Structure 1
Amino acid sequence: MAADLDFSPPEIPEPTFMENILHYGLFFGAIFQLICILAIILPIPKTHKTDTENFEAKSSEVIKKPKAIATSVSKKPKKETKKKR
């Protein structure tokens, strides 16, 4: 009775070329997604030197430009709506 039992592992066919591509593609896709998620969660800190230089250079421009841009942006849609009528 013990001689009738076959305890050898079942034969598993070797994966095909397309199965290998799919297998490794899924791994690379998962790694890429983890990197993207980590990039969102952990932002790269900027150096203090670049922050102060950019702030000093743009401080006078930032105060003057938004007012001019805001007025010109609000005027453009009004003109366009009049033209459509």
Structure 2
Amino acid sequence: MAAELDFTPPEIPEPTLMENILHYGLFFGAIFQLICVLAIILPIPKSHKTDTEGFESKSSEVVKKTKAAAASANKKPKKETKKKR
């Protein structure tokens, strides 16, 4: 009876090229997803230098023109009232 039992491990074929590509592609895809999720959870704080440079480059004339254009776009024409008979 003891001679009949074969305890050698079964032969496992080596992975093919496509199986290797799939294995490592899934691995790198999972790492990419983790990086994306961490980027959403832990946002990078903005540096103070970029904010001040943006304000210094704009002149007051450009700011006034954009405010005037926005104000004129927000105005709605007045509704005409019905005439009494």
Q: TM-score, normalised by structure 2?
A: 0.64
Provide the alpha-carbon RMSD of the alignment.
Answer: 2.8
Equivalent in the alignment of 2:30:
30
Q: Which runs of 4+ in 1 moved over 2 A?
A: 47-58, 63-75
Equivalent in the alignment of 1:21:
21
Stretches of structure 1 lacking an aligned partner (at least 5 in a row): 76-85
Residues 1-85 of structure 1 aligned to structure 2 (within 5 Å): 1-54=1-54, 61=63, 65-66=66-67, 68-69=69-70, 71-72=72-73
Q: TM-score, normalised by structure 1?
A: 0.64
What amino acid maps onto 2:31 in structure 1?
Answer: I
What amino acid maps onto 1:14 in structure 2?
Answer: E
Q: How many residue pairs are counted as aligned between the two chains?
A: 74
What amino acid maps onto 1:26 in structure 2?
Answer: L
What amino acid maps onto 2:36 in structure 1?
Answer: C
Provide the C-alpha distance between the structure 2 equivalents of 1:11 and 1:40, rounded to a whole number of angstroms: 45
